[in-house]
Amino acid sequence: MGIKRVSVYGLCSLVMLCVAFSAHTLMAETPSPSPTPGQTQQATQAVEQGNAEHHAAIPQYFTTKPPFTEGIFPCSTCHATMKPDRTRRELQFHTEIDLQHATKQRWCLDCHDADNRDRLKLANGDEVTFEESYLLCGQCHGNVFRDWKIGIHGKRIGLWNSDKPGDKQYFLCVSCHSPHSPKFKPLKPLPVPLKPKAITETKGTSTVDIEGKKIYIPVYSK
């Protein structure tokens, strides 16, 4: 029984390995095989509608714009004239990007599409727009993606009881997490509240400017 199970597992993993390897060779060596007419039609449709259409229950109009660094998008402005170099290496440009996101297993072209620089690339090779980057994140972070779709993870602002486009905004993953270094950055806390005892020890208020907002804090007489 035990030996049988081991052999079944072995066979399975061998098959998977072959498939993975062959796919890899295919992508690396040969240009993608010419698609059948049906496939082409499907592909263009997908790009036009956005891939979110294929993933049910994602309210597309909820999402906010991705927070690009100024002047960086569209990427094709620079990349159109450059020949894609698919070898994994230290970049000479984009040095400000500090990749802290499974660094050892990953590099740029695992998520960015080499052939269309203004798109991202899913693991299955599908292109997605930067507005739909949640599909890319959701490939690994499935639990979080599921929570995000129903509103438990992430942030929504706007009108709570309206689902009309534009009434509610649903923050993208990348609105809060830098995709290259996704850990949420620590913040300075806002001022400490007044101790009840100290109510007689204050003589007015002063203001502090925090993130462009004026916050009134008590001034102690002592």
Partner 1 sequence: MKRRDFLKGATSVAVALGLEGIALPAKDAKASVWEEFFQKYFREMNQAEKDAVVKRLEADYKKRFGKDIKVSTKGPLPNVLYGYGLDLSRCIGCRRCVYACVTENNLSRNPQIEYITVLRFKNGEKWVDDLEEAEKYYNPEVVPEPEHFYMPVQCQQCERPACTKVCPTKATWKEPDGIVVVDYNWCIGCRYCMAACPYGARKFNWGAPTIPVEQINPNTHYLGNRPKHKGCVEKCTFCIQRVRENPGRYPACVEICPVGARKFGNLLDEKSEIRMLIETKRVFRLKESLNTNPKFYYFFSL
Chain positions contacting partner 1, by CB under 8 A: 147, 150-162, 164, 167, 171, 176, 184, 186-195, 199, 202, 204-205, 213-216, 218
How far is residue 127's CA from residue 115's CA, in Å, rounded to a whole number? Answer: 10
Give the shortest CB-200-to-partner 1 separation in angstroms: 9
Give the shortest CB-136-to-partner 1 separation in angstroms: 19
Decide whether 26 or 190 has the Cβ nearer to partner 1: 190
* One-letter amino acid for residue 199 of the chain: I
| Vertex 192: Cα angle to 187 and 193 (nearest 5) | 140
Give the shortest CB-133-to-partner 1 separation in angstroms: 17
What is the token pair recorded at 143? 């639990």
How far is residue 157's CA from residue 169's CA, in Å, rounded to a whole number? Answer: 5
Decide whether 56 or 152 has the Cβ nearer to partner 1: 152
Give the shortest CB-144-to-partner 1 separation in angstroms: 8
Give the shortest CB-9-to-partner 1 separation in angstroms: 32
Give the shortest CB-192-to-partner 1 separation in angstroms: 5
Decide whether 5 or 188 has the Cβ nearer to partner 1: 188
How far is residue 24's CA from residue 37's CA, in Å, rounded to a whole number? Answer: 24
Question: Closest Cα partner for 118 from 137, 131, 106?
Answer: 131
Question: Closest Cα partner for 141 from 128, 129, 153?
Answer: 153
Decide whether 5 or 214 has the Cβ nearer to partner 1: 214
Task: Give, as one character, the DSSP assignment of residue 91.
Answer: -
How far is residue 10's CA from residue 185's CA, in Å, rounded to a whole number? Answer: 43
Q: Is the peptide bond before 189 cis (omega within 30 degrees of 0)?
A: no
Decide whether 213 or 222 has the Cβ nearer to partner 1: 213
Decide whether 33 or 189 has the Cβ nearer to partner 1: 189
What is the CB neighbour count within 10 angstroms for residue 159?
A: 12
Decide whether 123 or 159 has the Cβ nearer to partner 1: 159
Give the shortest CB-198-to-partner 1 separation in angstroms: 9
Q: Return the sign of the alpha-carbon dihedral for residues 88, 89, 95, 101.
A: positive
